[in-house]
Chains A and B, each alone.
Chain A
Amino acid sequence: MKPPADELMRTAGLIKVFDGDGGPVHALRGVDLSLAAGEFVAVMGPSGSGKSTLLHTIGGLEPATRGEIWLDGRRVDGLSQAQWAMLRRRSIGFVFQTFNLVSTMTVADNVELAALLGGATRHEARERREELLGELNLSAKAGAAPTRLSGGEQQRVAVARALASKPRLLLADEPTGNLDSSNSADVLRLLGRFHRRGQAILLVTHDARAASLADRVISLFDGMVADDAEVRPPLGLPPAAAGVLRLSG
């Protein structure tokens, strides 16, 4: 059990009910989870399990029906839309599966806007933008419209945009969902890199590879947590090709 002092985010008995076509839809039926500072947690589960809803609720894009959400020691589940918006500017970064960038601004402006919203001065915002884009090797495309980038490039810019404001927590909803394996790998590598620098990430995914990079994997089923376990690389895995051949049987 991690000491509470380290705790970045916590939900208690989180319940979310939607008004669906055929009656109320219980997307979340009491989810308890927690995330420590710098921790990388992946949430997996079949479709309809409530993964995306969980993420949206934690990020304030959907109001919770019942339950508690604690962010950085502060209770946030009852905040108004406007207050959530302010929270998202500085403390939370969001990456979606698609439509991650403001289509009407250049790549660079997207990142810069996020930084500005996060409270940076214009100078700082510009620096942050250059730094992030440089790290992504996308400086050349900084002036381009988002639609001119490939899917993988767009998602990498999206991650940069989400991190431009140096948020405490990065929420990512199926960021590799629309990408092929090599592009996925790029994006995941990026996430890993930032994680190693101490970024806390909550990732919703059905991509095992993405989930395996996390410190912990939470399994969601039918709106509730079914499993919550750390990921440990297998012991004594021989680096030789023989071991690989055995595994692939």
Chain B
Amino acid sequence: MRAAGRWISADLAARRGQVLVVIAVIAGVVASLLLSATVLAGATNPWQGLFAQTRGAQIWMRLAPGTNTHDLSRISGVTDVAGPYATAVATLSQGPVQSQVSLRAMTPAEPAVGKLLVRQGSWLSRSAPDGVVVEASFAQALHVNVGDGLALDGIDGNAARVRVIGIADTSDQGFYPDQTPGLIWALRGVVDRVEPVPGHIEELVGLRLADPAQTGLVVQQAVTQLGSSSVLSVTTWIQVEQSMARGDPLLGLLLALFGLIALGGAVLAIANAAAGRVLVQLQELATLKTLGFTPGQVMSMVVAEQAVIGVAGTAIGLAAARELTIPLLQGLPSGVLPAVMPLPAVWVALIGGGTELAVVIATAVPGWQAARVRPVATAVRPQPTSHLSWLTRTALLPRFPLAVVLGARAAFLRRLPAALTVGALAVTMTMVTIGLGFLSTVDDVQDNPASIGLADALTVSPGELSNAAARSIVYGDRQAAAVYPSVQESTLLPGDTTSITTLGMGTSSRPFPFDVAAGHLYTAPGEAVASQGLLSVLHLQVGEYVRMPIGGVPVIFHIVGRIIEPEYDGQVLAYGLDTLSQAGAAMPPVSYSLVLRPGVTADAGRAHLLRGAGEGLDVSIVSNPADQLGIVRAMLTGLIVILGLIGLTSLLTASAVGLRDHLRDVGVLRAMGLTPAQLMTTLVTSTTVLALTGVAAGTAAGAALAGRLINTGAQAYGIGAGIGRPPSVAGITVAVAIAVAAASGAAILPARRAVRARLATVLGT
């Protein structure tokens, strides 16, 4: 036991460099796994994290002014009561644009329940009596930043100018504009200024429950206690969660796929690191056996050593992940991931334990092989083919250099190790290629919103102007490249819990430029295009018919195409507005979707319109989900780099092992008349050929898979297949070049040494 420990520590010390690299790789993999799992969890279910972090209240009730809330805490199941907070309704004016605001009075002290997570700036304080904190999604929708001045108007017209001193997340209500009005917190003084009439100030109270399942019951009891006339409205956590969960399917998709890569990379890294080390040690282990270690001892020593390395790497990875989580996610634009909860301990244990297990398993096979090594390290036993004529056959190719043929042949001599090296490289390269494909998809979505159906940049509604006035302004706007009149309706089909959005965009003769993935756009009244989500939910295919109520009238549509639609939960039916008139349906209120000229930013276009229109016109900017993808791009790039490092490490290890075999023959080959240049070529070829094969296979597989993966995921998420983009050629070229350079580089130095060495050394005489 002690001897084993001695050997392990001696070996670790002797190969410090290699060991540190392996530990770094494992740590990197573990950290990225943890981070990506955290992000994934946060992205797909932001409410949960947010709720936990804010110690939220499951029930929020708007009460009439003056309601007595003291006995609420006595309702069974209620653990805490938040508030009551004075709340006033106000209007926020930003130039001509007005938004409804719920202004809530809070104190500088942090509440015990329903905390706010300040993302930017700071919370309310007495030193800034005019300071307000805006809710994050509201702030993002209105392009409000810390330091902006806002004009708040009360119901009776009392105006107050306030300054934004902070932006915070809350679990009290869903995201704006899904749930209105927008939420702003201020000191009581501000609220009183905006709404001096006490009778207009409502009370907001939150109830935190021990058991969320009791929500309905508690609501009933609370209403009973307070009197139904006092309770103006009740919102529960279920509504909030639903609102928040309707997050970005695109983001969720990419993050899920991203997590997959991370997992694959992890397994690979670990297998390579552990196995590679053992292979290098085989000769030494033979010596150990001569010293008297039994096969069982040898195997357990090898596995134990790798396990120690694995534990070190995992521990460092865990610590790094913990340290990096906060700073990394603080870099996220607000609204993307409202709150990130530290991963449940189960996940951490799973990832950490899984890593360790992978190390042990990956070591077990070569460890067992090591145990079987004969005490006297015998000469290498290759398995040459039984075909005798390969040499003459290949030497046939007259221009083919003999050295290359010999080298290539030597590379594949030991079939299993060669296959493993090629396989590992191929898998790594596949994932790098897939990662590059994701990157180019993200880039494409960001640069080209039209490709995911977001051709329009602005949506304009008449607001206070008349339809005719609005229409003339919009159509007259010189910065608009195209204008599409549009109507939007939400329909809940019987038996369904989610709503379907019907969009009349443009006309059949001038349809909105959706991104059509299959079929074609509507060209005649009665034709429509549908998103994948809709098709899946209604079990329809392109070419079939569907009946949809529009403007109160059922209309039969012929589905002629499938579009990519990342919003509206992916359940969209779009048609030309002339269908409505033909069907005799009433025209819902029309707004206008504007496609701006290239080079005109959304903000500039909006400002221009508002200048021309004065007050009254309601212009909002269409949000591009890809704006939030910056973080994904960063993480993808990071992961690709890590994968690259992993591939490189395994390549270098494999090369070192392979070269050892071939260096022995240098003496004979030299005597047989191979020039030094030819000898070098042979050795370098033997490693480079393997690298090239693996990389080529990996690139091909990755290119084929990347698009398919994205489209499958997009389909499942309802966005619809067709957003996938092939990986960038430049990226792949760089990756291939690095791999080949590494392989050749690994061989060049030892080859040079061997070729130049005195014959006596090489022959071992």
The interface bits of chain A over 113-154 (1 if a CB of B lies within 8 angstroms of the residue's CB, else 0) are 110111000100110000000000000001101011000000
Nearest CB in chain B: distance from A184 CB, A: 18
Known contacts: A98-B765, A99-B763. The answer to whether A143 contacts B676 by CB under 8 A is: no
Q: Which of A43-83 contact B (CB under 8 A)?
A: 52, 56, 59, 61-62, 81-82
Q: Which of B367-392 contact A (CB under 8 A)?
A: 378-386, 388-392
B675 touches A82 (CB 8 A): yes
A181 close to B (CB within 8 Å)? no
A109 touches B391 (CB 8 A): yes
Q: Which residues of B contact A102 (CB under 8 A)?
A: 665, 668-669, 672
A109 touches B671 (CB 8 A): no
B392 touches A85 (CB 8 A): no
Nearest CB in chain A to that of B669: its residue: A102
B396 touches A100 (CB 8 A): no
Known contacts: A102-B665, A147-B381. The answer to whether A114 contacts B676 by CB under 8 A is: no
B508 close to A (CB within 8 Å)? no
A166 close to B (CB within 8 Å)? no
Known contacts: A104-B382, A105-B384. The answer to whether A94 contacts B391 by CB under 8 A is: no
Q: Which residues of B contact A96 (CB under 8 A)?
A: 667-668, 671, 763, 765
A100 to B45, CA, bound (A): 68
B384 touches A104 (CB 8 A): yes
Interface residues on A, range: 35 or more
Q: Which residues of A contact B764 (CB under 8 A)?
A: 98-99
Q: Which residues of A contact B763 (CB under 8 A)?
A: 96-99
Known contacts: A62-B758, A82-B677. The answer to whether A103 contacts B382 by CB under 8 A is: yes
Give the contacting residue for A145; candidates B381, B664, B758, B765; CB below 8 A. Answer: B381
A88 touches B676 (CB 8 A): no
Nearest CB in chain A: distance from B675 CB, A: 4
Q: Which residues of A contact B391 (CB under 8 A)?
A: 105, 109, 112-113, 116
Give the contacting residue for B671; candidates A61, A112, A148; CB below 8 A. Answer: A61
Known contacts: A109-B391, A147-B381. The answer to whether A103 contacts B759 by CB under 8 A is: no
Give the contacting residue for A104; candidates B665, B673, B678; CB below 8 A. Answer: B665
Q: Could you say which of B413, B671, B677 has the most chain A C-beta atoms within 10 Å of its C-beta?
A: B671
Q: Which residues of B contact A94 (CB under 8 A)?
A: 671-672
A106 touches B673 (CB 8 A): no
B661 close to A (CB within 8 Å)? yes
B450 close to A (CB within 8 Å)? no
Known contacts: A102-B668, A103-B382, A104-B384. The answer to whether A81 contacts B676 by CB under 8 A is: yes
B708 close to A (CB within 8 Å)? no
Nearest CB in chain B: distance from A222 CB, A: 19
Q: Which residues of B contact A62 (CB under 8 A)?
A: 758-759
A97 to B762, CA, bound (A): 13
Q: Which residues of B contact A103 (CB under 8 A)?
A: 379-380, 382, 661, 664-665
Nearest CB in chain B to that of A117: its residue: B673
Nearest CB in chain B: distance from A246 CB, A: 40
Q: Which residues of B contact A104 (CB under 8 A)?
A: 382, 384, 409-410, 413, 661-662, 665
B611 close to A (CB within 8 Å)? no
B380 touches A85 (CB 8 A): no
Give the contacting residue for B675; candidates A86, A145, A165; CB below 8 A. Answer: A86
B662 touches A59 (CB 8 A): no
B759 touches A85 (CB 8 A): no
A90 to B672, CA, bound (A): 9
A122 touches B396 (CB 8 A): yes
Q: Which residues of B contact A148 (CB under 8 A)?
A: 381
A203 close to B (CB within 8 Å)? no
B676 touches A82 (CB 8 A): yes
Q: Which residues of B contact A61 (CB under 8 A)?
A: 670-671, 759
A33 to B616, CA, bound (A): 112
Q: Which residues of A contact B677 (CB under 8 A)?
A: 82
B749 close to A (CB within 8 Å)? no
Give the contacting residue for B382; candidates A100, A126, A145; CB below 8 A. Answer: A145
A109 touches B678 (CB 8 A): no
A88 touches B668 (CB 8 A): no
Nearest CB in chain B: distance from A225 CB, A: 22
Q: Which residues of B contact A116 (CB under 8 A)?
A: 391-392, 395, 402
Known contacts: A97-B765, A109-B390. The answer to whether A88 contacts B384 by CB under 8 A is: no
Q: Which of B344-401 contact A (CB under 8 A)?
A: 378-386, 388-392, 395-396
Q: Which residues of B contact A89 (CB under 8 A)?
A: 672-673
A52 to B676, CA, bound (A): 21
Give the contacting residue for A86; candidates B384, B395, B669, B673; CB below 8 A. Answer: B673
A125 touches B392 (CB 8 A): yes
Nearest CB in chain A: distance from B139 CB, A: 69
Q: Which residues of B contact A97 (CB under 8 A)?
A: 763, 765
Nearest CB in chain A: distance from B305 CB, A: 30
Nearest CB in chain B to that of A126: its residue: B392
Known contacts: A94-B671, A145-B384. The answer to whether A52 contacts B392 by CB under 8 A is: no
A108 to B389, CA, bound (A): 9
A106 to B410, CA, bound (A): 12
B555 close to A (CB within 8 Å)? no
Give the contacting residue for B395; candidates A101, A122, A165; CB below 8 A. Answer: A122
A85 touches B678 (CB 8 A): yes
Nearest CB in chain B to that of A116: its residue: B395
A185 to B389, CA, bound (A): 32
Q: Could you say which of A62, A86, A89, A103 has the most chain B C-beta atoms within 10 Å of its C-beta?
A: A103
The interface bits of chain B over 147-172 (1 if a CB of A lies within 8 angstroms of the residue's CB, else 0) are 00000000000000000000000000
Give the contacting residue for A85; candidates B379, B413, B674; CB below 8 A. Answer: B674
A109 to B668, CA, bound (A): 14
A106 touches B675 (CB 8 A): no
A114 to B392, CA, bound (A): 12
Q: Which residues of B contact A98 (CB under 8 A)?
A: 763-765
Q: Which of A1-53 contact B (CB under 8 A)?
A: 18, 52
Known contacts: A98-B763, A104-B662, A147-B381. The answer to whether A88 contacts B388 by CB under 8 A is: no
Q: Which residues of A contact B402 (CB under 8 A)?
A: 116-117
20 interchain pairs (CB within 8 A)? A59-B671, A82-B676, A86-B673, A87-B673, A88-B673, A97-B763, A99-B664, A99-B667, A102-B672, A103-B380, A103-B664, A103-B665, A104-B665, A105-B409, A106-B388, A112-B388, A112-B391, A113-B672, A116-B402, A143-B384
6 A-B pairs with the lowest CB-CB distances in the bound complex, closest first:
A89-B673, A122-B392, A94-B671, A88-B673, A82-B675, A85-B675
Contact residues of A with B, CB < 8 Å? 18, 52, 56, 59, 61-62, 81-82, 85-90, 94, 96-106, 108-109, 112-114, 116-118, 122, 125-126, 142-143, 145, 147-148, 161, 165
Q: Other than A85-B675, A103-B379, give 6 A-B pairs with Cβ distance below 8 A.
A: A18-B758, A61-B759, A62-B758, A99-B665, A104-B665, A147-B379
